[in-house]
Chain A
Amino acid sequence: MHETLGNKHGVHSEHISVDHDPDDLWGDSRVIVNIGPTHPAMHGALRMVAKLNGETIEKSYCEFGYTHRAKEKLGENRTYHQFVVYTDRLNYCSALSNNVTYAMAVERLMGVEVPERAIWIRMICAELARVIDHLICVGINAVDIGAFSFFLYGFHQREEAYTLIEKLCGARLTTSYTRIGGLMADAPEGWEKEVKAWVQKTRKVIDEMDKLLTGNRIWLDRTVGVGVFNKEQCMQYSFTGPSARASGIDRDLRRDQPSMFYKEVEFDVPIGKNGDVFDRYMCRLEEIRQSLNIVMQCADKIKPGPIWSEDKRVRIPDKDVVHNTMEGLIHHFKFFMKGFDVPPGEAYTTFEGTNGELGFYIVSKGDPMAHRMRIRGPSVWHYQALSPMSEGGKIADMVAILGSINIIAGELDR
């Protein structure tokens, strides 16, 4: 019996007893391989320890928490307004989506109505974030498996989308764009036209990407039938979003539990069948197209108007009011130093985030800070399934599976 352990810390390890298997290529030897937390194929600081028989993963366990920043604790010790910036750093590939969901969650607790224009802009934001996130997911998935140029096609469009976001709020990655009851700033004039031009271009790029990769022999060999998770398993592990839809679960919160104006736009929900890496890739690619359709419809329907709710509790006073009136100055000071009180109550607000159900469970006791700020990120539930999905597969398949469920460490560790 032979065994290798990367054991530098002097911890004695028991030999693993494995019964002799005549078909066993490698005799009785098992190798334990530690992948991560800093490894180029792991998406962020994740760690997997796998027991290998040759190249086949027999058993594994996953660890995370290396970038834990205590966001839920911060949520209990920061005002609702201050917490907006922390939501950017959850799923940093789709920061806008988190901003929008968080703002919706607090508005729901307070009963604040947001004007139409703000909602349309928020919808465009959420869908832009979805396109960006899916582009990075399918792109990086392909890079991990060895198709590099595919990623660059999408990357260019992603940068263009970031430029659009930069025009909205001045930041490309950590947007902090929404405010409770409104938006940080209105979209600049002509922004809708630029969005539409971007949509037209991106549609072509997506078709190009589709042609480049989808029928590729090597891609099919590496993805079809890899990391299969059926409907029942998905329900066991609380899968949501594209990863669940790839297994045939016909659910999309945008359609089934519509928030904002999702009832007024038309889109299809792509459903997969096999629940393997390839189906997840196809679902995401189709969702990009559907998101582009939604963005186009939103850009058509958006009209000039206010972007702030006139609810005095949440409305941040305009700068000329602050600088020219005493009341405005006091209001401004109180708003930023003390925050606003949220009526006691609790609500679990969800939105179809890019990777699945993104939820904020906020319990308020009537204070300017939450009593409990629970963040339900889809990554946690998906990452939990990595071990069962990759057991029995090759170690290279694990990399493909990890890319296909799109784990974002910021959301995983919170």
Chain B
Amino acid sequence: MDIRTPVATSYGDWLQKFEETWKSQIAKLTAKFGSAIEETRMPVAFATDVPIVYVKAEKIVEVLSFVKTDPDFVYDLLSDLTAIDEMPAEPRFEVVYNLFSYSKPCRMRFKVRVSEGQDVPTLTGVWKGANWAEREVFDMFGIKFRGHPDLRRILMDVRWEGHPLRKDYPLRGYQIFPTAMPVDPTLLED
């Protein structure tokens, strides 16, 4: 067996359970948003556990607030928000939104392709909890979120240089700061 070629891993029994739901949902999405949906990838045809919907960066907030509330979707939980560095591909980054529907209950994944320096509209207006996740993506990958209320580094020190989860980031090295960051009273203003 050549394990470098994609195998027909079924990733559990989700496909049998949700195939119809997913297909009708994707059909509805493409009908409603048209060219805003760049590409859809279904399981089996592509090596993925749930369908992936690639959305144009400009339209991501519109699409996600639609799938959050529409009765056919109700993906009301933002399970995870992260990014992948696909260097040397262009566009370089993919921002990944893993959504979960409490009522179905099934999952779907949305992705946005972003090139270096391009920014993505923030999701904080749809889910307040996206705030820190977007800060983490900014911290780790350097992807900026347009309209984010407080886009600072979160895991690394604010004085840190570089974005550690990029593929071209060196694996060894130090950045040592003599003091901890003092209290920042500007963050406590109303």
Task: List residues of A whose CB falls within 8 A of some B CB.
Answer: 5-9, 11, 13-14, 16, 32, 34, 37, 49, 51, 59-61, 64-65, 68, 70, 72-73, 77, 108-111, 235-238, 240, 249, 251, 256-257, 259, 313, 341-350, 357, 359, 361, 363, 366, 371-372, 374, 376, 380-381, 384-385, 413-414
Contact = CB atoms under 8 A, between A and B. Distances in A.
B80 A361 contact: yes
Contact of A249 (B102, B179, B187): B102
B187 A49 contact: yes
A233 to B, nearest CB: 8
Interface of B: 3-7, 9-12, 47-50, 76-80, 82, 84-85, 96, 98, 100, 102, 105, 107, 109, 127-129, 131-133, 136, 140, 154-157, 164-165, 169, 171, 179-180, 182-190
A348 B107 CA distance: 9
B59 to A, nearest CB: 22
Nearest to B102: A251
Given A347-B11, A350-B79, A236 B185 contact: no
Nearest to B7: A343
B132 A347 contact: no
A56 to B, nearest CB: 14
Contacts of A259: 12
- Closest A-B pairs by Cβ, 4 of them: A345-B47, A111-B9, A65-B155, A347-B49
Nearest to A367: B4
Contacts of B128: 236-237
12 contacts: A13-B183, A59-B190, A73-B169, A109-B9, A236-B128, A249-B102, A251-B102, A343-B4, A345-B11, A348-B107, A380-B133, A414-B155
Contact of B6 (A32, A235, A343, A371): A343
A348 B183 contact: no
A236 B123 CA distance: 11
B155 A64 contact: yes
A77 B77 contact: no
Contacts of B169: 73
Contacts of B107: 348
B186 A14 contact: yes
A33 B103 CA distance: 42
Given A61-B187, A249-B102, A108 B79 contact: no
Residue from A6, A60, A70 having most chain B Cβ neighbours under 10 A: A70
B49 A380 contact: no
A322 B80 CA distance: 42
A16 B3 contact: no
A51 B188 contact: yes
Given A238-B78, A249-B102, A357-B79, 18 more contacts: A7-B183, A9-B179, A32-B188, A61-B184, A61-B188, A64-B155, A70-B164, A238-B77, A251-B102, A343-B3, A343-B6, A346-B47, A348-B109, A372-B82, A374-B96, A376-B80, A384-B129, A414-B155
Given A49-B183, A343-B6, A60 B188 contact: yes
Given A256-B105, A257-B105, A347-B48, A381 B188 contact: no
Contacts of B5: 343
B70 to A, nearest CB: 15
